[in-house]
Amino acid sequence: MSPHTIGYLAADPTAGDAITNANTAWILASSALVLLMTPGLAFFYGGMTRAKSTLNMIMMSFSAIGIVSVLWVIYGYSVAFAPDKTHGLFGNLTIRFLHNETQASITNSLYDYAFIAFQLMFAIITLALISGAVADRLKFSAWIVFSVIWISVIYFPVAHWVFAFGVPLSGAKGEVAANGAASGFVQGTGGWIVQKLGALDFAGGTAVHINAGAAGLALCLVLGIRKGFRKEAMRPHNLPLVMIGTGMLWFGWFGFNAGSALVANGLAGIAFVNTQVATAAALCGWLIVERLRDGHFTTLGAASGAVAGLVAITPACGSVSPSGAIAVGGIAGMICAMAVGIKNKLGFDDSLDVVGVHLVGGLVGTLLIGFLATKATNGFVDGIFYGGDASQLGKQAVAAFAVMGYSFFGTLIIALLIKYTIGLRISEEAEIVGIDQAEHAETAYEFTPVSAGAGHTTVASAAPQRVVT
Amino acid sequence: MRLVTAVLKPFKLDDVKTALETFGVQGMTVSEVQGHGRQRGHTEVYRGAEYEVSFVPKVKLEVLVDDADAEDVVEVIAKAAQTGEIGDGKVWSVPVDDVVRVRTGERGVEAL
């Protein structure tokens, strides 16, 4: 075989068929889209913090990309997706370092490596989502330690519950699509929510959003409120940055939701359309609530509504019709707009509303499937509004509250462990000066001519000058 | 010599500057400041949470003038800056002992 054959695949006797190659192309593109959501989230959150802590907020997202990607290859993918013998709780370590995977491995008309890439991006953003709850005050070293423990102990198992369909039966084509019964898979090898319970979660309303929202709540409860919370104005310092982040999230979310079909077909198409209309409806819903309650249509409200809609349609995009998606989005937009006020009443400082948007939005979307699911989209179950019984709603509730409970109490323990060992919070002085300067030795902006350089002196040891001859 | 200081609504700065230049004032210093008098602040709403913004953006303008011109300059500024609405600002003048022009070393009135 000529070494100049185009690509290695041409020389591969186990090369997939055209369908497999088409699916793989779409999932690789989707993986890149989902990765882009995390920098998008960094801007969405970064613009919402005060100017003195925007870099720290952005760094929590970018550090998630660094940490989770490495752990994913070492053991994360294996814990989440290797066949389990634990009644669907977590996988084993047989695919650590991905060492049983080959370039030619194919599962359900998709190259494994594309699936590995795709699922990695989900793990990254789920961790990054939590950071919104702890703006301005969490020690960065504590965040790093939290990241490693949380992704390993909470996310990887929960991803297994929700996303691991199990080992396909030999000769059978497992239905990877939104199939609650997960027929075509060896029973006892997949996650309990997807394989045994049969709850519908197309793209991760439970594993990603409820999970991150509950974790954010637990972490911010242990961490405590920001200095000045509910006393001084903590308004977003850069709303245009928030809007850029929202745009990147929305764009990337098509990969997240439509890509979760794991095939390039009509199901991916309807998930795409549902994602768009639900997000649009939620944007409108949030703005309507704001106009009625506060008297103005705000930019932050439009951005928040869009994200609430994206969150809510995430579990539902593969099981409702486009008109059902409008209902999911509209309801989520309005409920989340009201839910973000809860923290001020109850006094917990979920700084950027991870609970109000992701936990509440995730619950709304996951539970509404019980009402709005339609066979026309998902192929096998109707919700209550489409003539079905309440059994699917029951399954949705079990899945939602199981993930919420595990994530909340698990995170609570992790947070307490860190609090009483290395400590969670930066000093009060550092918090007032700004976490960017205290933890990262940087500031995001040059505020005055003095801070821009005139007042700075070079530290001799910092950068020895190279003599150029 | 006197230092005339005015705190103004930002959108009136251009009118005041033009009026002062027409009057013959050679130089001035402008800075962006925040504060409030009887106007108090305003309210902003983020995700339903209302924030009282008690300090309003203002422009502070400073002009060094000869004693003889001080009263007129105060008058020119006050007239140009007036809208009649609450929050128009204040103008005041204080005595100045000495002034040095950095470039030439001239002192006192010569340095104005």
Per-residue pLDDT tens digits for A250-303: 999 999 999 999 999 999 999 999 999 999 999 999 999 999 999 999 999 999
Q: Which sign does the torsion angle of CA A257, A263, A269, A270 carry? A: negative
* Cβ contacts of B45 on chain A, cutoff 8 Å: 290, 294-296, 298
Inside any domain, residue A443 = no
pLDDT of residue A46 exceeding 80, the answer is yes
Average pLDDT of chain A to the nearest whole number: 90
Q: Any CB–CB contact under 8 A between A292 and chain B?
A: no
Helices (H), A50-111: 54-71, 77-81
Inside any domain, residue A157 = yes
Q: Which sign does the torsion angle of CA A449, A428, A146, A397 carry? A: negative
> Between A and B, how many CB-CB pairs are < 8 A?
33
Q: Strand B42-46 and strand B29-35: pairing?
A: unpaired
| Structure-block tokens of residue A157 | 């198992």
Inside any domain, residue A124 = yes
Q: Please, which residues have CB within 8 angstroms of residue A10's CB and are 6 or more apart in sequence? A: none
Contact A235 B50 (CB under 8 A): no
Inside any domain, residue A286 = yes
Give the distance from residue A439's alpha carbon to the nearest chain B alpha carbon, in angstroms. 27
As a whole number of angstroms, the distance between CA A467 and CA B10 comes to: 50
Q: Any CB–CB contact under 8 A between B46 and chain A?
A: yes
Q: Please, which residues have CB within 8 angstroms of residue A341's CB and are 6 or more apart in sequence? A: A356, B47, B48, B49
Contact B47 A300 (CB under 8 A): yes
User: Rounded to an integer, what is the distance from CA B42 to the centroid of its chain?
Assistant: 22
* Cβ contacts of A290 on chain B, cutoff 8 Å: 45, 48
pLDDT digits (tens, 9 = 90+) for A385-400: 999 999 999 999 999 9
pLDDT digits (tens, 9 = 90+) for A152-183: 999 999 999 999 988 877 654 444 444 444 56
Inside any domain, residue A460 = no
* Cβ contacts of B31 on chain A, cutoff 8 Å: none
In this prediction, residue A47 has a pLDDT band, given cuts at 50, 70 and 90, of very high
pLDDT digits (tens, 9 = 90+) for A402-428: 999 999 999 999 999 999 999 999 999
| Structure-block tokens of residue A17 | 């068929």
Nearest chain A residue (CA) to B54: A233
In this prediction, residue A1 has a pLDDT band, given cuts at 50, 70 and 90, of very low
Please give the biggest Cα pair distance in chain B: 58
Mean pLDDT over residues A23-44, rounded? 98
Give the distance from residue B55's alpha carbon to the nearest chain A alpha carbon, in angstroms. 12
Percent of chain A's residues with pLDDT above 90: 78
pLDDT of A451 reads: 55
| Structure-block tokens of residue B90 | 């204040």
First-last CA distance in chain B: 9
Inside any domain, residue A449 = no
| Structure-block tokens of residue A372 | 């709005």
Give the distance from residue B45's alpha carbon to the nearest chain A alpha carbon, in angstroms. 7
Q: Any CB–CB contact under 8 A between A353 and chain B?
A: yes
Percent of chain A's residues with pLDDT above 70: 89
Total number of domains constituting chain A: 1
Contact A340 B52 (CB under 8 A): no
Contact A233 B44 (CB under 8 A): yes
As a whole number of angstroms, the distance between CA A288 and CA A56 comes to: 33
pLDDT of A3 reads: 42
Angle at A168 between CA A163 and CA A170, to 5 degrees: 175
pLDDT of A187 reads: 79
Inside any domain, residue A220 = yes
pLDDT of A453 reads: 52
> With contact defined as beta carbons under 8 Å apart, do A33 and A271 qualify?
no
Give the distance from residue B7's alpha carbon to the nearest chain A alpha carbon, in angstroms. 20
Mean pLDDT over residues A45-58, rounded? 97
Mean pLDDT over residues A369-377, rounded? 96
pLDDT digits (tens, 9 = 90+) for B16-47: 999 999 999 989 999 999 988 887 778 888 88
Nearest chain A residue (CA) to B44: A235
Contact A294 B45 (CB under 8 A): yes
pLDDT digits (tens, 9 = 90+) for A433-458: 999 999 999 999 987 656 555 555 55
| CB within 8 Å of chain A, chain B residues 16-45 | 44-45
Which domain range does residue A111 map to?
17-419
Q: Any CB–CB contact under 8 A between B85 and chain A?
A: no
Contact B44 A235 (CB under 8 A): yes
Contact A337 B48 (CB under 8 A): yes
Of the candidates B48, B52, B53, the beta carbon closest to that of A294 is on B48
First-last CA distance in chain A: 52
Q: Is A24 left (phi over 0), alpha (psi -120 to 50) or beta?
A: alpha
Residue A120 belongs to domain with CATH number: 1.10.3430.10
Contact A298 B45 (CB under 8 A): yes
Inside any domain, residue A456 = no
pLDDT of A170 reads: 64
Whose CA is closest to A104, among A94, A114, A91?
Answer: A114
Contact B51 A344 (CB under 8 A): no
Nearest chain B residue (CA) to A340: B47
pLDDT of residue A12 exceeding 90, the answer is no
Q: Any CB–CB contact under 8 A between A235 and chain B?
A: yes
Contact B47 A233 (CB under 8 A): no
Mean pLDDT over residues A59-69, rounded? 98
Strand partners, B31: B60
Contact A235 B46 (CB under 8 A): yes
B85 compared with A257, residue with greater pLDDT: A257
Q: Any CB–CB contact under 8 A between B97 and chain A?
A: no
* Cβ contacts of B49 on chain A, cutoff 8 Å: 341, 344
Give the distance from residue B110's alpha carbon to the nearest chain A alpha carbon, in angstroms. 30
pLDDT digits (tens, 9 = 90+) for A319-356: 999 999 999 999 999 999 999 988 988 999 999 999 99
